[in-house]
């Protein structure tokens, strides 16, 4: 008897033959229609398709990307190997008398990472636009904004083992498989694991084991070199009538799920292993949200290095509105108002005034933690074609390097200014000396450092030939200042410039 999984190679064959790729879709309906589609508007793409000659690509695009029914004969022609019966067996379509409709969303996904460009097909559940109503609670999300953020942040250093906690459609496990020899992916949703299995097989990705369960229960007493998680961190009222979406709601009160992850992940990391996740944290009363995260790190049974970056803060009302809309409930309806009232009541119970969102990088320390960085980086990032993961990996390595050097050893370092660093000088008209010197980073987090004359000169002289000590000595003589004092000041600045990527240590 043929099993559904046996038909996946037939599906792959048909998708290849049709040429279902990101570039092909953009060419099919144009960049403006593609942008509109990202905003949830299908009409421009549909109008563009109406001007095209029928083709397998156009049929599959209409069926699976736009979630519009197509004539049965065209569906059969677009899936000649799999056939309509095979598509129905895989749960991809529902079949009427004369038409075929999508039962899932199936679309190409392209990306670039440290290993280079790649493209996959991703199957997920139909969204609100296709359904025409609020999402069901067992909805399995496709590749959304949070997924893209986490995959871009993912460290790409080769490791033996990785864990994707809360895998959903499997996208993070698939990314992790590009740098880990073995991957375990877990989820509380059996449906999510079925779709993840389909995506892994469709894209011929091996070495991923799927397990059902909540949080770290499926991997009790196991340790991993790398843990990634886009957990169900959304703060949801524990009130009757409020939907608990599996893809975003972990069933805990407030931000307790993220706290639980932070406090428990160290027990599942190998020494030096890294956990990366997205999360929310509450600002309660006059308290600080990042300080709440610090207490979670301190409560870990295993010693943790921590680098936590807050990217945004929303007031309680806007936060509630965002996630009610995300579930498919439209503003201005009685249902929306009912849910908003429940959310705000829940926030009032804990005196929550706003909610922070950001990235957490946690590393199991092999001794006393040396990295404790909690910062706010609201606003735009630098240009990072292969994602921030490469920059984060370099930053960790630079932190470890400078932490291992005392000031004398650091003064013998011969740094090189990074290629993406530019300098701005601001002067009053007619003035000889600048009133401000800004060092700008083009990649990484797009940081801007306000520098004095000494630091700007040191960065400018960092060509890999001169040591920090030699540059400091020359600058002290030029500026007519105390050499020891300037050296201490510059060494402190160099440590930060190395970690942030403005300066690089020479290759060994």
Q: Does a structural domain hold residue 392? A: no
Q: Helix (H, G, I), strand (E, B), or coil: what is residue 495? A: helix
Confidence tier at 473 by pLDDT (50, 70, 90): very high
Domain boundary among 55, 78, 102: 102
Q: Does residue 508 register a pLDDT over 60?
A: no
Domain check: are 139 and 55 in the same one? no
Q: Helix (H, G, I), strand (E, B), or coil: what is residue 400? A: helix
Domain check: are 369 and 433 in the same one? no
Please write down the long-range contacts of 374-379, taking CB distance under 8 Å and 24 or more positions apart.
Answer: 374/290, 374/291, 374/293, 374/294, 374/306, 374/308, 374/310, 375/290, 375/308, 375/309, 375/310, 376/290, 376/309, 376/310, 377/309, 377/310, 377/311, 377/445, 377/447, 378/310, 378/311, 378/312, 378/313, 379/446
Strand duo 416-417 + 503-504: pairing:
antiparallel
Q: Does a structural domain hold residue 390? A: no
Place of tokens 């019966």: 85
Number of domains, the chain:
3
Where are the alpha helices (H) located in 299-361, listed in sequence order?
Answer: 316-326, 334-349
Domain check: are 149 and 202 in the same one? yes
CB 372 within 8 A of CB 289: no
Confidence tier at 84 by pLDDT (50, 70, 90): very high
Q: Does a structural domain hold residue 28? A: yes
Q: Does a structural domain hold residue 393? A: no
Mean pLDDT rounded to a whole number for the chain: 93
Domain boundary among 102, 129, 157: 102
CATH number at residue 253: 3.40.50.150
| Closest listed residue to residue 464, CA positions, set 413, 499, 391 | 413
Strand duo 105-113 + 416-417: pairing:
unpaired
Mean pLDDT, residues 396-412 = 96
Task: Write down the pLDDT at residue 185.
Answer: 98
Domain boundary among 57, 81, 102: 102
Task: Write down the pLDDT at residue 344.
Answer: 95
Q: Does residue 321 register a pLDDT over 60?
A: yes
Q: Does a structural domain hold residue 49? A: yes
Q: Does a structural domain hold residue 309? A: yes
Domain check: are 377 and 272 in the same one? yes
Domain range for residue 468? Answer: 401-504
Nearest-angstrom CA–CA distance, 340 and 145: 23
Q: Which residues pair with 358 in a beta bridge?
A: 279, 310
Confidence tier at 135 by pLDDT (50, 70, 90): confident
Number of Cβ within 10 Å of residue 468's Cβ equals 23
Task: Write down the pLDDT at residue 158.
Answer: 95
Mean pLDDT, residues 252-262 = 92
Tokens of 44: 């421009």
Confidence tier at 444 by pLDDT (50, 70, 90): very high
pTM value? 0.92
Contacts of 182 (CB under 8 A, 6+ apart): 160, 161, 162, 207, 209
Confidence tier at 386 by pLDDT (50, 70, 90): confident
Mean pLDDT, residues 78-97 = 95
CATH number at residue 428: 3.90.930
Q: Does a structural domain hold residue 334? A: yes
Domain check: are 276 and 257 in the same one? yes
Task: Write down the pLDDT at residue 1.
Answer: 39
Nearest-angstrom CA–CA distance, 389 and 395: 10
Domain check: are 137 and 22 in the same one? no
Q: Does a structural domain hold residue 395? A: no
Domain check: are 303 and 356 in the same one? yes
Domain check: are 97 and 134 in the same one? no
Domain check: are 158 and 16 in the same one? no
Task: Write down the pLDDT at residue 143.
Answer: 92
Mean pLDDT, residues 257-272 = 96
Domain check: are 148 and 283 in the same one? yes
Confidence tier at 131 by pLDDT (50, 70, 90): confident
Domain check: are 247 and 280 in the same one? yes
Q: Does residue 271 register a pLDDT over 70?
A: yes
Domain check: are 90 and 213 in the same one? no
Of the listed ranges 56-70, 429-443, 464-478, the one predicted with least confidence: 429-443
Span 210-255, pLDDT tens digits:
999 999 999 999 999 999 999 888 899 998 889 888 888 888 888 9
């Amino acid at each position: 008897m043929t099993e559904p999984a046996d038909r996946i190679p037939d599906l792959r064959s048909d998708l290849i033959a049709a040429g279902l790729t990101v570039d092909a879709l953009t060419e099919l309906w144009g960049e403006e229609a593609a942008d509109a589609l990202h905003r949830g508007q299908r009409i421009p793409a549909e109008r563009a398709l109406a001007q095209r000659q029928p083709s397998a690509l156009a049929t599959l695009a209409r069926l699976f990307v736009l979630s519009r029914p197509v004539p049965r004969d065209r569906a059969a022609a677009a899936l000649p190997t799999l056939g309509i019966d095979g598509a129905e067996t895989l749960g991809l379509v529902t079949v009427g008398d004369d038409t075929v409709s999508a039962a899932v969303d199936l679309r190409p996904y392209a990306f670039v990472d440290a290993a280079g460009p790649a493209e996959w097909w991703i199957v997920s559940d139909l969204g609100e636009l296709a359904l025409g109503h609020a999402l069901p609670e067992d909805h399995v999300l496709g590749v959304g904004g949070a997924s893209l953020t986490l995959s871009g942040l993912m460290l790409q250093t080769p490791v033996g083992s990785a864990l994707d906690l809360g895998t959903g459609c499997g996208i993070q496990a698939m990314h992790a498989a590009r740098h880990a020899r073995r991957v375990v992916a877990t989820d509380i949703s059996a449906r999510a694991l079925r779709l993840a299995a389909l995506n892994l097989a469709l894209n011929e990705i091996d070495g991923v084991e799927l397990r059902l369960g909540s949080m770290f229960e499926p991997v009790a007493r196991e340790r991993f070199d790398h843990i990634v998680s886009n957990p169900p961190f959304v703060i949801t009222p524990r009130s009757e009538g409020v939907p608990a979406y599996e893809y975003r709601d972990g069933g805990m009160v407030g931000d307790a799920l993220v706290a639980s992850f932070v406090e428990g992940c160290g027990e599942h990391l190998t020494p030096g292993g890294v956990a990366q996740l997205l999360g929310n944290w509450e600002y309660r009363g006059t308290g600080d949200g990042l300080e709440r995260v610090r207490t979670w790190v301190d409560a870990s049974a295993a010693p943790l290095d921590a680098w936590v970056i807050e990217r945004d803060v929303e007031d309680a009302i806007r936060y509630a509105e965002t996630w009610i809309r995300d579930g498919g409930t439209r503003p201005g309806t009685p249902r929306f108002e009912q849910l908003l009232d429940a959310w705000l009541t829940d926030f009032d119970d804990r005196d929550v005034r706003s909610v922070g969102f950001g990235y957490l990088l946690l590393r199991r320390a092999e001794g006393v933690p040396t990295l404790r960085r909690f910062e706010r980086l609201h606003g735009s990032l630098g240009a990072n074609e292969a994602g921030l993961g490469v920059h984060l990996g370099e930053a960790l390595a630079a932190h470890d390097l400078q932490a291992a050097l005392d000031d004398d050893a650091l003064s013998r370092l011969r740094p090189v200014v990074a290629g993406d660093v530019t300098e701005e000088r601001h002067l009053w008209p007619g003035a000889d000396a600048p009133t401000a010197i800004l060092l700008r980073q083009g990649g990484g987090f797009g940081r801007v450092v306000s520098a004095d004359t000494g630091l700007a000169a040191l960065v400018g002289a960092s060509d890999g030939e001169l040591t920090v000590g030699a540059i400091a000595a020359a600058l002290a003589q030029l500026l007519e200042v105390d050499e020891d004092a300037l050296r201490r000041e510059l060494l402190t600045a160099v440590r930060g410039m190395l970690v942030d990527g403005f300066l690089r240590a020479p290759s060994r």
